[in-house]
A = this chain, B = another copy of it.
Amino acid sequence: MFESAEVGHAIDKATFDAQVPALREALLEAQFELGQQARFPVLILIAGIEGAGKEETVRLLSEWMDPRFIEVSTFDQPTDEELTRPQAWRYWRQLPPKGKVGIYFGNWYDQMLQARVHKKIDEAQLDQFIAGAERLERMLSEEGTLIFKFWFHLSKRSMKERLETLKDDPLHSWQLGPLDWQQSKTYDKFVLHGERVLRRSSREYAPWYVIEGEDERYRSITVARILLEGLQCALEHKTPTVHAHHAAPLVSSLDNRALLDALDLSRTLTKQEYQEQLVVEQARLSKLIRDKRMRKHALITLFEGNDAAGKGGAIRRVAAALDPRLYRIVPIGSPTEEELSQPYLWRFWRHIPRRGKFTIFDRSWYGRVLVERVEELCSPADWLRAYGEINDFEEELTNAGVVVAKFWLAIDQETQLRRFREREATPFKRFKITAEDWRNREKWDAYCDAVGDMVDRTSTQISPWTLVEANDKRFARIKILRTINDALESAFGRL
């Protein structure tokens, strides 16, 4: 969930200076229109890692927009007034009215995360708080409020560096209280629980945006652009209320440093390395699957990737290690008539393996947020809510001991072209290439955006995505086998 926010996004000063004037003007204009229409309020919730630029970004927004129509509220220590009333009272009294923008610092997410990190509440109680937040936000959204939730993120290393730098800077040291330092120590917990909170509370009507906080220019422009697009969408939408789902598109990276671009596709294995490691990893998998600890688990792997990225070959190398009675390969194509008459997750639920068994999905439920999104086979509302639904689904699986390993096989456009041509030239491979493959190729960028959003929103602690550098098929196959083996071992260790 935080992978995209640890790749080192940055924007150079020239690009920044070139973009800011138009962005500021557009933001001011949208804000003016918001006030004129006075049809709905905007609520911005700020959360995330200390030192990731939360305060700075809000200060900048107030500078770029008209501060008379923005109210920033912080909720760290409750006042006497607030202490004597129900907890939610303080949030209600600060709500922005229609036509205005309210920014909430130290809001309910901060409260529940602090409480969880300091072990004042357990996991079930955290879930109670999350459910409460969901009910509140859904109600606000139904009443018309446009909600943005920003999580400012830093990798652990970046945070430490940043705290170190700030410590020596007398102008900045006031920013760092003892609590912050403590948070530096408890970074892992904060991120662990934070992910649970984001996973459960990122819903189509109030999605989370995870912003990498390291580069000030990048984070400023990214936040401003998300706000602008969301505002413009909602302002065009002329119904009396904004309602149930966020019109804002998920925003693709600004600096061409998307997660996929950060992959080093030049990684290879020699033939000999490959053969040696293949034997090792296949033997390891075969042994793990027959391990008696496997009786308490099941295994699901799923393969998504660019056309011609080598999914089939990789799946064969996995299967080759195993007794065919132990696994099933489920290819996902167009749904059958029966499947069409059910909710979209139904066709996957029917193939969930029993304990001790292994199911390999060749393409998967992620079709909803990939092909169905890009080809507009379902509405934006449908694929937007799918992220949350898929996270719920995978959580049910992992809670039941199912190990889920998800692979995206990435190749570059040149490699794909070469493979397409080879397929056309080889008689027994010709069936593998169709007119549709060439059409998909034209939507390369749209697919890249979809993959980025997918990984950002569904790569979770309980069920992470593995991005596989697949220009070299040998490298890809070994990485996949090794990842599956590591996942099983780690699950066995957990018992």
Contacts and interface: CB of A to CB of B under 8 A. Distances in A.
A86 interface: yes
- Can you tell how many copies of this chain the complex includes? 2
Contact of A341 (B99, B341, B346, B353): B99
B396 A349 contact: no
Nearest to A97: B341
Listed residue (A341, A345, A402) with the most chain B CB atoms within 10 angstroms of its CB: A341
Contacts of A244: 244
B400 A85 contact: yes
A28 B467 CA distance: 53
A41 B340 CA distance: 12
Listed residue (A125, A135, A145) with the most chain B CB atoms within 10 angstroms of its CB: A135
Contact of A124 (B81, B124, B388, B396): B124
Interface string A352-389: 11111000000000000000000000000010010011
Contacts of A127: 124, 127-128, 131
A115 B393 CA distance: 22
A338 B97 contact: yes
B85 A354 contact: yes
A143 interface: yes
Interface in A46-94: 81, 84-89, 92-93
B87 A396 contact: yes
Contacts of A134: 131
Contacts of A139: 343, 345, 385, 389, 392
Contact of A92 (B122, B341, B349): B349
Nearest to A80: B354
Nearest to A140: B343
B400 A95 contact: no
A354 B84 contact: yes
Contacts of A95: 342-343, 346
A93 B95 CA distance: 44
Contact of A385 (B142, B145, B346, B399): B142
A444 interface: no
Contact of A402 (B86, B298, B345, B382): B86
A248 to B, nearest CB: 19
A98 interface: yes
B338 A86 contact: no
B389 A89 contact: no
A181 interface: no
B397 A86 contact: yes
A38 interface: yes
A438 interface: no
A238 interface: no
A295 to B, nearest CB: 9
B142 A92 contact: no
Interface string A136-167: 10011011110000000000000000000000
A344 interface: yes
Nearest to A356: B84
Contacts of A125: 124
A145 B125 CA distance: 30
A350 interface: yes
B122 A396 contact: no
Interface in A395-415: 396-397, 399-400, 402
Contacts of A389: 135, 139
Contacts of A135: 388-389, 392
A355 B397 CA distance: 45
B124 A84 contact: no
Nearest to A389: B139
A14 to B, nearest CB: 42
Contacts of A385: 139, 142
Nearest to A136: B392
B352 A86 contact: yes
Nearest to A145: B343
B342 A97 contact: yes
Listed residue (A134, A343, A344) with the most chain B CB atoms within 10 angstroms of its CB: A343
Nearest to A240: B379
A86 B350 contact: no
Nearest to A82: B354
Closest 4 CB pairs of A and B: A86-B400, A124-B124, A97-B341, A143-B343
Given A85-B400, A86-B397, A244-B244, 16 more contacts: A38-B341, A84-B298, A84-B354, A85-B298, A85-B352, A85-B354, A85-B355, A87-B396, A87-B400, A88-B396, A92-B345, A124-B127, A135-B388, A139-B392, A140-B343, A143-B343
11 contacts: A84-B355, A85-B352, A85-B354, A85-B400, A97-B341, A124-B124, A127-B128, A131-B131, A142-B382, A142-B385, A244-B244
